[in-house]
Amino acid sequence: MDEKTYSENSADKPVEQPKAVLETRQIQAGSLKGEILLLKDQGYRFVTITCVDLDQESVDLIYTFDRGLEMVHLRIRQPKAESAPSVSDILFAAFLVENEIQDQFGICFDGLVLDFQNRLYLEEEVARTPFCRYNVTRNSK
Amino acid sequence: MSKTIIPFGPQHPVLPEPIHLSLTLEDEIVVEALPALGYVHRGLEKLCEIRDINQMIQVVERVCGICSKIHAQCFCLGLEKMMNVEPPPRAEYLRVVWSELHRIHSHLLWLGLFADSFGFEALFYQLWKIRERVMDINEATAGNRVIISVNVLGGVRRDLSAEQVRWITSQLNMVEQELKDLQSTILDDYTIRSRTVGKGILTREKAYELGAVGPTLRGSGVAQDCRQLGSSALKHLEFQPVVEQDGDSFARNKVRFLETLQSISLVRQALKGLPKGEIKTKFKGSPEGEAVSRVEQPRGELFYYFKANGTKNLERLRIRTPTFANIPPLAAMLPGIELADVPVIVLSIDPCISCTER
Amino acid sequence: MFSKFLQKCRVKSPWVLHFDCGSCNGCDIETLAVLTPVYDVERFGIINMGNPKHADVLLVTGTVNHRNKKVLRNLYDQMPSPKAVIAIGACGLSGGVFREAFNVVGGVDKVIPVNVYVPGCPAKPEAIIDGVVRALELFQAGPEGV
Amino acid sequence: MFKITPMTATVIKNLFTRKSTRPYPHVVREPFELARGELYIDINDCIFCSICERKCPSQCISVDKKKGLWTCDPFACVYCGICMGVCPTRCLHHKKTWRPVATEREMISMQGTPPKAKKKSSAGKEPEGM
Amino acid sequence: MNTIQIIMALIAGLFLAPLAVGLITGLDRRITARLQSRLGPPILQPFYDIGKLLGKEAILTNQWMAFCSLAYLAGAVISVVLFFLQSDLLLIFFVQAIGSVFLVMGALSVPSPYSQAGANRELLQILAYEPLLILVIVGIFLSTGSFKIGAVYAMDQPLLFKMPLLFLVLGIALTIKLRKSPFDISGSHHAHQEVVRGVYTEYSGPYLGIVEIAHWFEIVLFLCLISLFWSTGVVGLVILLGVTYFAEILVDNTTSRMTWKWMIGSAWSMGLVFSLINLLWLYYG
């Protein structure tokens, strides 16, 4: 009962489970700002950044943009030891989410326009990059 | 000129929620507003690692009590997309009924709080009185007033009987009538207009660029509403986003008021077209891969990102809530206004801090 | 005689202070709903005060996290006695669904003493009224009761 | 255009119509048929399968199969009704009314008879351990 | 006036008047609740509130606040007593004004930002209604030829007929003093405020009780001023007071709170225009 479904009486017809794929465009950290400016020119606007913990060394940063309800995702692979480029200077709206990632994953963003210094959400006693499963050291600034 | 720093929050009577703004004032004029968050942060995205996907529905419902149903729906839509599960048509219609009911109660709640922010208590009480009818509908059909927990993966948990459908329709007629009685107050009253018109202006370009969503965006003249995507049964229903051009607090107020009436019409349409049949699709297996989903909350566009690895627990869940997106526009609106207008403008984006911080 | 009158006044005029300690809003809006016409707790003389210095009863909703526990403590200390604390909802009682989240202290009573617990998720307005009435019974019992 | 005080009609109407206040707690309204209130268990029917324990989103139920003890922390229960739905013997229910307020922390623990191998005897029920 | 009359006036001013205002306030809350489709608190609620406040623990930020609250009370009480002793209107006016200023001084003595902002606004409120009061008193002088209250009672027809516009002006001042919408700027009974409880924020426990009682005395004074407009008969006086107070409640419930700029602008422009017309009419009429 517990291993497969939640449904109350589990008489089921199994459905094939294909792996869901999110269409993203892998780019290099260096070309990030250029790509964003390009998208901005085309009328795209910023939605959010998603940070996904991958392994000991790196995380994925997925930048999501939107134009008329159609979405574009850019993905960069960010080593944990290095600082990520902040895009808050060209996209002011990104400052909040970058601070959040700083809090939760310990990634540092270079050139944040409004830097909460890892204290956006968390107090001293719990500020231990809680969202990292593989790595719990914080980059000191 | 002397500068004073006034803390707005974290405990403030106008705002039931703890957001903290440090307002730097020069003679009651705000020159700088710095938001400080973290008073509601729970870190519940992290819970996806110890709760399985079915339990997570209950958890994401509690991201925000006011739009709980819609959070759960967004979560379910995303996972259903990942697992190729199609909910039965009746379930899709029922989802629309409950989400629009949630929107009605949320908007009424907000309109009331907004009235309260400029000290119009009688209007606040009147709107919350109307809202109680919607809460009764929620409780009668779903079993709980606020967090109604009707969504499950693949459908809904509760069904509506024909008698309940009739009862809901009659209750909604009353809600609509009572709201229309208040229309001239909300839209034409001199004191309300003088407190809201021209306050907290967000131009169309600024709103679009700063990533405003929901009524904040639509009040600035951008016709973008995730319901246009036609998820659930919305594709079968008649729907046009409500847009106002002025971009001030009054425009946002008007958008929300008109949306309330629109939602009543959507519930009516959905109840009328309610198909017969099952309310849940059965399925097996666990999700794998990545997906995003988004729906329109009362406060704006809600965005979920999922990453799963084929187990019952998600690997990463990320929730971008509408207020999170509306805070940068708010920070841009505040400088240059009077202290007396701060609550009005802060409330005009309909801040939901527990959404923002999760 | 006079102290009896004061006692009665204390029961008849509880001003409440509501503090959201990280709740999901569910309990908050129910707490606000008890002030509105349908439940109208002003019948009992209850007024929602925004100011801890004027409040007699503290209504706390939410999980309590590491940042707002200081605010909670501070608000509690600012209230002149006699005072009562009511914790509302599963989160305020134990942390609810979020008990295991990393930033959650879990329960109001880990920070300040709680007099009445109102269970529910969210607690129904009627239950909140019950809670306030129960707290008033404590006032009735005298300052030692609180 | 704007009007001076359109609210006047509404408030005057309120003055002369019935007030909408429900006089709770003096008059208690009939709860709705499907309302999810306090959780309780028919311990006689419980087979101590622990499904409720595993499915509970709040992890507030614990089942001790050996001792036949079903415990629920009512202060952590979120009244979602999941356990009720998954229970194979339908022995979990929600009352229609909410759980009363309390001044002390308390647990609901119900003592039943754990299922013997194969044979299920009628279990003795003890009052709720308040 | 003989001794018995003076004692009677003192009893009326010191005990009966505040009791009456307490009841009126209770009735006010009840009617307000009904206008909002609610049941509302018991009529005696204001007394319970005061009683509770007096019985609470006294936490003081500084001694100055205690002094200020008492001075505020003294100012209000003396002005009411002077009124009942049928003294000079101008004297009453100045005593009352000094009392109100003490409330502000107490609030200003604390560094709390809400208290400061509330105190600023309270000053602006005083600034808004005091000139109006002066104009009304000048009107009374023009129609009776004296600043003495006794002169009003000596008239054979109600003042209302002579100065209807000045009555409206006094109505504006009353709305400000009662802290009702649209003028509930510096603090209100219901704490739904951008400055929390504004000028009251830092007064707590028994001192808040004292401030509330002082406020009652101020309301007494204003209601007394209104009663001057129908000095010829008790029935007419009660009706006038009832109608005025109900109008206040109605205005409170049908408007939103405005800003202090609007308050000063509207109170002064409306007040000045109305009183000017009325005064000219009195002068040349």
Give the pLDDT confidence of E74-99 residue by residue, as tens digits: 888 888 888 888 888 888 888 888 88
The reported pLDDT for the residue numbered E230 is 84
The mean pLDDT value for E253-264 works out to 81
For residue B321, give both structure tokens. Answer: 């809530």
How many percent of chain D have pLDDT more than 70?
Answer: 85
The reported pLDDT for the residue numbered D129 is 37
The reported pLDDT for the residue numbered E189 is 59
Query: Mind listing the pLDDT tens digit for each residue in A16-43?
Result: 556 667 777 788 877 888 888 888 888 8
The answer to whether D3 touches B190, Cβ cutoff 8 Å, is: yes
User: How many other CB atoms sit within 10 Å of the CB of residue A16?
Assistant: 8
Q: Can you name the residues that pair with C88 across neighbouring β-strands?
A: C61, C118
Please provide the average confidence, as pLDDT, over all residues in chain E: 82
Residues of B in contact with D10 (CB under 8 A): 122, 126, 181-182, 185
> Cβ–Cβ of E36/D14 closer than 8 Å?
yes
User: Regarding beta strands D108-111 and C84-88, do their DSSP bridges make them parallel or antiparallel, or are they unpaired?
Assistant: unpaired
Main-chain phi, psi angles of B276, to 5 degrees: -85, 165
Domain at D87, CATH number: 3.30.70.3270
Q: Which of C23, C33, C68 minimises the CB distance to B128?
A: C33
Main-chain phi, psi angles of A77, to 5 degrees: -100, 120
Q: End-to-end CA distance of chain E, in Å?
A: 33
- Of D84, D43, D36, B81, whose CA–CA distance to C121 is shortest? D36
The reported pLDDT for the residue numbered D120 is 40
Please provide the average confidence, as pLDDT, over all residues in chain C: 81
> Cβ–Cβ of B59/D94 closer than 8 Å?
no
Query: Mind listing the pLDDT tens digit for each residue in C48-74?
Result: 877 787 888 888 888 888 778 888 888
From CA E211, how far away is CA E197, in angstroms rounded?
13
In a domain, A13, yes or no: no
Main-chain phi, psi angles of B303, to 5 degrees: -125, 125
From CA B72, how far away is CA B144, in angstroms rounded?
15
- Of E59, E67, E213, E232, whose CA–CA distance to E156 is shortest? E232
pLDDT band at C145 (very low <50, low <70, confident <90, very high): very low
Q: Which of B47, B50, B55 to mutate to test the interface with D (most CBs of D within 10 A)?
A: B55
Nearest CA in chain E to D13: E35
Query: Mind listing the pLDDT tens digit for each residue in A102-128?
Result: 877 777 777 777 777 666 777 666 656
Residue D5 pLDDT > 70, yes or no? yes
User: Regarding beta strands B155-156 and B288-297, do their DSSP bridges make them parallel or antiparallel, or are they unpaired?
Assistant: unpaired
In a domain, D5, yes or no: no
The reported pLDDT for the residue numbered E104 is 85
- Of C13, A68, B197, C51, whose CA–CA distance to E204 is shortest? C51
The reported pLDDT for the residue numbered A130 is 65
Interface of C with B in 9-48 (CB under 8 A): 17-33, 36-38, 48
Q: Decide if E204 touches C, using CB distance below 8 A.
A: yes
Kindly give the residue spans of alpha helices, DSSP state H, lying in A1-141. 32-41, 95-105
Query: How far, CA to CA in Å, does C144 sit from each of C81, C138, C141?
Result: 11, 9, 7
Q: Which of B156, B185, B194 to mutate to test the interface with D (most CBs of D within 10 A)?
A: B185
How many percent of chain A have pLDDT more than 90?
Answer: 0
In a domain, D10, yes or no: no
Count how many domains chain D has. Answer: 1
From CA E58, how far away is CA B109, in angstroms rounded?
37
Count how many domains chain E has. Answer: 1
The mean pLDDT value for D58-77 works out to 82
For chain C, which chains pass the contact test of at least 3 CB pairs under 8 Å?
A, B, D, E
The answer to whether B106 touches B259, Cβ cutoff 8 Å, is: no
Residue C39 pLDDT > 80, yes or no? yes
Cβ contact A–E (≥3 pairs, < 8 Å): no
From CA D24, how far away is CA D40, in angstroms rounded?
25
Per-position b or e across B165-200, b if 16+ CB within 10 A of its CB: bebbeeebeebbeebeebeebbbebbbbbbbbeebb
Q: How far is B134 from chain A (nearest CA, A)?
A: 29
Please provide the average confidence, as pLDDT, over all residues in chain A: 72
The string of DSSP letters for B32-43 reads: EEEEE--SS---
Kindly give the residue spans of alpha helices, DSSP state H, lying in E145-204. 149-153, 159-162, 164-177
User: Regarding beta strands C84-88 and B20-26, do their DSSP bridges make them parallel or antiparallel, or are they unpaired?
Assistant: unpaired
Query: How far, CA to CA in Å, does D84 sit from each of A6, B60, B145, E233?
Result: 13, 20, 19, 73
Count how many domains chain A has. Answer: 1
Given a cut of 50, the residues of chain B with pLDDT beneath it are 1
Query: Mind listing the pLDDT tens digit for each residue in C93-104?
Result: 887 788 777 777
> Cβ–Cβ of D78/C37 closer than 8 Å?
no
The three-state secondary structure class of E28 is: helix
Please, what sign has the CA dihedral across residues A119, A123, A124, A130?
negative
Q: Which domains are assigned to chain C? A: 12-139 (3.40.50.12280)
Q: Which of D20, D23, D76 minimises the CB distance to C96?
A: D76
Q: What is the ipTM of this complex?
A: 0.81
From CA E141, how far away is CA E45, in angstroms rounded?
39
The reported pLDDT for the residue numbered A2 is 39
Q: Decide if C64 touches D, using CB distance below 8 A.
A: no
Per-position b or e across E214-241, b if 16+ CB within 10 A of its CB: bbbbbbbbbbbbbbbbbbeeeeebeebb
Q: How far is B175 from chain D (nearest CA, A)?
A: 14
The answer to whether A133 touches A58, Cβ cutoff 8 Å, is: no
Domain at A104, CATH number: 3.30.460.80
In a domain, D6, yes or no: no
The reported pLDDT for the residue numbered A104 is 78
Kindly give the residue spans of alpha helices, DSSP state H, lying in chain D. 7-16, 51-55, 82-86
- Of B334, D87, B122, E181, whose CA–CA distance to C36 is shortest? B122
How does DSSP classify residue E12? Answer: I
Q: Which of A20, A24, A71 minimises the CB distance to B288?
A: A20
Residues of B in contact with D36 (CB under 8 A): 143-144
The reported pLDDT for the residue numbered A118 is 67
Q: Decide if D103 touches E, using CB distance below 8 A.
A: no
| Single-letter code of the amino acid located at B135 | M
Query: Mind listing the pLDDT tens digit for each residue in E114-172?
Result: 777 778 888 888 888 888 888 888 888 888 888 888 887 777 778 777 788 888 888 88
> Cβ–Cβ of C119/D99 closer than 8 Å?
yes
Which residues lie below 8 Å from residue E51, measured CB to CB, with a gap of 6+?
A: C5, C6, C8, C9, C13
The answer to whether A20 touches B81, Cβ cutoff 8 Å, is: yes
> Cβ–Cβ of E255/D15 closer than 8 Å?
no
Name residue, tokens 């129904």: C124
Most confidently predicted of C99-103, D97-101, D124-128, E277-281: E277-281
Q: Which of E37, E253, E259 minimises the CB distance to B338?
A: E259
- A77-81, A129-133, B19-23, B159-163, range with the lowest pLDDT: A129-133
Nearest CA in chain C to D37: C120
- Of B159, B29, C53, whose CA–CA distance to E208 is shortest? C53
- Of B123, B299, B105, whose CA–CA distance to B195 is shortest? B123
The answer to whether B352 touches B323, Cβ cutoff 8 Å, is: yes
Cβ contact D–E (≥3 pairs, < 8 Å): yes
Give me the residue spans of the domains in chain B: 1-41, 44-350
The reported pLDDT for the residue numbered D70 is 83
In a domain, A64, yes or no: yes
The answer to whether C47 touches C16, Cβ cutoff 8 Å, is: yes
Most confidently predicted of D21-25, D95-99, E95-99, E254-258: E95-99
In a domain, A37, yes or no: yes
**Range(s) of the domain holding residue D48:** 32-111
| Single-letter code of the amino acid located at D78 | V
The mean pLDDT value for C107-133 works out to 85
In a domain, D8, yes or no: no
pLDDT band at E32 (very low <50, low <70, confident <90, very high): confident
Residue D127 pLDDT > 80, yes or no? no
For the segment(s) B44-350, the CATH number from 1.10.645.10, 3.40.47.10, 3.40.50.360, 3.90.1150.10 is: 1.10.645.10
Please, what sign has the CA dihedral across residues A67, A71, A75, A80?
positive
Q: Is D77 left (phi over 0), alpha (psi -120 to 50) or beta?
A: beta
Residues of B in contact with C24 (CB under 8 A): 62-65, 68, 147, 354
